[in-house]
């Protein structure tokens, strides 16, 4: 591993990266616990919505670990999971507005994450921006 | 759940969040007074948790006890977790993490109150 790569790895998980990992960690916990609990207790009511919450939680977890580990591979993993989140929150957001019946119960991503102060919408954008920034530093 | 304790925790957490945000914008790392603030907040939260657990043990329990207890555990773990984060990050982003945790705390307290006293 070259010195430049090593310093980029440190950069990804220090500074703003550390805050991102903390926020991702909290959201991973919130979404996974919520989805898991709802699937375990009320599976019949809205399996799609609850499954989606659980899936979102797992993706947040992957992103958090990817950002925290910050190797070249981890950076790629974090990048992909942030991208999936962004697509997910946009898709589910539009769907929940156009076809409210699709999700009888709210998920983390319903209405673009309005139940969570729109953090789910902003978070992947910040994550992608941060990873790309560090990536560019790496290649300078 | 003791109402005035919840209020105190929420006010203290928001105050801490404001203070830590100021530190972040002034480019200061986490310092000992921040830690003392987090410790005071933690003691308040632990107090609330002990009172609630005693009430639950005494039979005064919310409908979704498992959910309530898991939220309670998260709230109790939050202050020490953000303090550890502050130690790891010796830059202005340390207080930023504490500020974030102190903003999440009041929200979790609201959720706890909802579980304790569901408004039908």
Stretch 82-121 of chain A: residues touching chain B, C-beta under 8 Å = none
pLDDT at A46: 80
pLDDT tens, A76-121? Answer: 999 999 999 999 999 999 988 888 777 777 788 888 888 888 889 9
- ipTM value, please give it: 0.82
Tell if the CB–CB gap between A18 and B82 is shorter than 8 Å.
no
Q: Do B93 and A29 touch (CB under 8 A)?
A: no
Radius of gyration over alpha carbons of chain A, in Å?
16
* Residue in chain A nearest B81 by alpha carbon: A22
Question: Is residue A6 predicted with pLDDT exceeding 70?
Answer: no
Q: Do B89 and A26 touch (CB under 8 A)?
A: no
| Selected residue of B89, B97, B103 to mutate for chain A interface (largest A Cβ count, 10 A) | B89
First-residue to last-residue Cα distance in chain B: 18
| Contact list, A119 vs chain B (CB under 8 Å) | none
Distance from CA of A31 to the nearest CA of B (A): 13
Of A16, A29, A37, the CB nearest to B93: A16
CA pseudo-torsion sign A89, A95, A98, A100: negative
Rounded to 5 degrees, φ, ψ at B45 are: -65, -40
In angstroms, the separation between the Cα of residue B72 and the nearest Cα of chain A is 13
Which residues of chain B make contact with A15, given a CB cutoff of 8 A?
89, 91, 93
* The Cα angle at residue A107 between residues A101 and A111, in degrees rounded to 5: 70
Q: How many residues does chain A have?
A: 140
pLDDT recorded at residue A1: 46
Residue bearing the bigger pLDDT, A36 or A3: A36
């Amino acid at each position: 591993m070259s010195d430049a790569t090593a310093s980029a790895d440190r950069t990804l998980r220090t500074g703003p990266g550390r805050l991102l990992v903390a926020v991702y960690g909290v959201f991973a916990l919130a979404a996974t616990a919520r989805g898991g609990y709802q699937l375990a207790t009320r599976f019949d009511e809205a399996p799609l919505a609850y499954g989606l919450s659980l899936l979102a939680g797992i993706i947040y977890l992957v992103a958090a670990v990817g950002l925290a580990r910050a190797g070249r591979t981890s950076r790629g993993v974090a990048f992909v999971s942030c991208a999936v989140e962004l697509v997910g929150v946009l898709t589910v957001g539009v769907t929940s507005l156009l076809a409210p019946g699709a999700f009888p119960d709210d998920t983390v991503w319903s209405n673009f994450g309005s139940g969570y102060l729109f953090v789910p919408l902003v978070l992947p954008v910040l994550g992608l921006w941060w990873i790309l920034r560090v990536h560019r530093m790496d290649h300078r | 759940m003791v109402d005035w304790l919840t209020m105190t925790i929420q006010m203290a957490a928001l105050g801490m969040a404001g203070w830590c945000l100021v530190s972040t914008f002034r480019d200061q790392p986490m310092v000992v007074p921040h830690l003392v603030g987090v410790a005071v907040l933690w003691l308040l939260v632990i107090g609330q948790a002990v009172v609630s657990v005693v009430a639950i043990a005494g039979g005064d329990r919310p409908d979704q006890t498992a959910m309530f207890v898991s939220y309670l555990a998260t709230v109790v773990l939050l202050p020490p977790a953000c303090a550890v984060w502050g130690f790891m990050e010796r830059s202005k982003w340390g207080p930023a993490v504490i500020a974030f945790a102190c903003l999440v705390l009041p929200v979790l307290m609201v959720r706890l109150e909802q579980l304790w006293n569901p408004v039908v």
